[in-house]
Amino acid sequence: MAQSKTAFFCQNCGNQYPKWQGQCTACKSWNTIIEEVLHKTEAPKWEEMGVSASRKASSPIAINDIQHISEDRIMTDDQELNRVLGGGLVPGSLVLLGGEPGIGKSTLCLQIALFAHFKTLYVSGEESSQQIKMRADRLKRDNNNCFVLTETNTSAIFSQIKSVRPDVLIIDSVQTLFTDAIDATAGSISQIKACTAELIQFAKATNTPVILIGHINKDGQIAGPKILEHMVDTVLQFEGDHNHVFRILRSHKNRFGSTNALGIYEMMSTGLREVSNPSELLLSEKDDSLSGNAVAVTLEGNRPLLIEIQALVSSAVYGTPQRSATGFNAKRLNMLLAVLEKRAGFRLGAKDVFINITGGIHVDDPAIDLGVVAAVLSSNNDQPIAPDVCFAAEVGLSGEIRPIQRIDQRIAEAEKLGFHTIYISKYCKLENEYKGIRVKLLSKIEELVQSQ
């Protein structure tokens, strides 16, 4: 019998300690350190699967002598996913898909499996095969090459893989897996680490890509997939607001592509739909008689996105005026209001100001500052902004209109969507000439006030 060894792990961040202690020194959380027993057993034998795991001692090679092998990527039927991955799945890679419960991770993975033209094995430790079938019925697809396995033990999964031999393996979720090599409960840090290490070995030895689903808790009670980020090749995050239909697939780490790419989906009653032109969905039907609405051009990853900002300015009923921002940084809103007060002479100190970015998305890009200011001014004066006007500039503390990055890309997107005027900073260096859209240059916030 192998000698048992124990170690103490913080269940929040995965830090390892030789002894118990009350507070984790790494993440500062209390009472999260738990003893876990580690048993060492033999690694699975990939040779049995007809794969020879090469264990030759390596020696240094000049980088110029290393031959470039162009890898054949596996293209899924999901174009958004392919783009976020940097052009399809890389054979032998491990992709971690993280996200809050209920955001749609299982739906996305089942869709990949059902819509695929390659053989997939969808291993679920969370749902029964009946539940998966019901979901597949909602997605209105069937596929003879999609196999479902409800199993949580890694050695049982690997023995099934030997008979199915899938081209892509999907695991839902890493928190439910357990390996016999370690005597700890499923979902504990050491189990998650050990199971992932086995999956990495499997992926590299058989050249099969593995998509691994991981949960993130808001309060970080259960071990999140954070500790796995170093182990896997690609980390994707599925984000969105439960009350809204938009879901954003973002890449946080990608060994085979850029992390700027972004996928946008819409959750429908029949599954996730790829949204190739998000601006059209984010802009509501325009009614030019409404004041307080302004359109701004932001960037999500490297895609320009037109969003609608709504502002409501009303007289403060109580002593302290209220400021509220949904989808926008409240501190930044206060800063912009202070600039307006000082530079444009608006007595906004006696007014309540509410800002909302429609579509339930959150924007951190300072390029929407000018749009926010325009929406506030429009609501304050009760003067609607023409529906074919949009804004893209940052506002500085002294009221100057500052340039932003990738301005040409943003103007081109606005032009494509039929906008006729865009307000930008005078200090932007434009590379192209625009015929379909009038580019208005501003240097100070006062100029915007006058032009309204």
User: Helix (H, G, I), strand (E, B), or coil: what is residue 349?
Assistant: helix
Kindly state the smallest distance separating residue 79's Cβ from ligand TYD, in Å: 19
User: How far apart are the C-alpha atoms of 424 and 436, rounded to whole Å?
Assistant: 16
**Cβ at position 243, least distance to ligand TYD in Å:** 11
3-state secondary structure (DSSP) of residue 319 = coil
Partner from Mg ion, ligand TYD, none binding residue 224, C-beta < 5-8 Å depending on class? none
Q: How many CB atoms lie within 10 A of CB 23?
A: 13
In the bound complex, what is the minimum distance in angstroms from residue 189's beta carbon to ligand TYD? 21
The footprint of Mg ion on residues 50-79 (CB under 5 A) is none
Does 345 bind ligand TYD (CB under 6 A)? Our answer is no
Q: Which stretch binds ligand TYD (CB under 6 A): 27-35, 40-48, 73-81, 267-275?
A: 267-275
Q: Token pair of 413, please?
A: 């997107």
**Contact call for residues 84 and 236 (beta carbons, < 8 A):** yes
Nearer to ligand TYD, 123 or 309 (CB): 123
212 is an interface residue for ligand TYD by CB under 6 A: no
Residue 270 binding ligand TYD, by CB under 6 A: yes
Apex 334 CA angle, 413 and 337, nearest 5 = 75
One-letter amino acid for residue 387 of the chain: P
Please tell me the distance from the alpha carbon of residue 294 to that of residue 393, in angstroms, as a whole number: 13
Check if the beta carbon of residue 267 is closer than 8 Å to that of residue 104: yes
Could you tell which of Mg ion, ligand TYD, none binds residue 269, using a CB distance below 5 to 8 A set by kind? ligand TYD
Minimal distance, residue 127 CB to ligand TYD, in Å: 8
Name the strands in the sheet holding 323-326, side by side, starting at the edge strand that comes first in the sequence: 323-326, 351-357, 303-315, 293-300, 389-391, 421-425, 438-442
- Ranges assigned E (strand) in 138-259: 146-150, 168-172, 182-183, 210-215, 234-240, 246-254
CB of 264 to ligand TYD, least distance (A): 16
* Partner from Mg ion, ligand TYD, none contacting 112, C-beta within 5 to 8 A by type: none
Looking at 11, 32, 106, 234, which residue binds Mg ion (CB under 5 A)? 106
**Which range, of 103-111, 135-143, 279-287, 404-412, touches Mg ion by CB under 5 A?**
103-111
Which of 270, 383 has the CB closer to ligand TYD? 270
Give bridge partners of residue 91 from the DSSP assignment.
Answer: none
- Out of 54, 269, 315, 450, which residue is the one contacting ligand TYD (CB under 6 A)? 269
Q: Hey, what are 408's tokens?
A: 């040409």
Site for ligand TYD in 86-145 (CB under 6 A): 99, 101-107, 135, 138
Question: Which of ligand TYD, Mg ion, none binds 99 (CB below 5-8 Å, type-dependent)?
Answer: ligand TYD
**Under a CB-based contact definition with an 8 Å cutoff, are residues 199 and 233 in contact?**
no
- Map residue 310 onto helix, strand or coil: strand
Residue ranges that bind ligand TYD, judged by CB under 6 A? 99, 101-107, 135, 138, 267, 269-271
Residue ranges that bind Mg ion, judged by CB under 5 A? 106
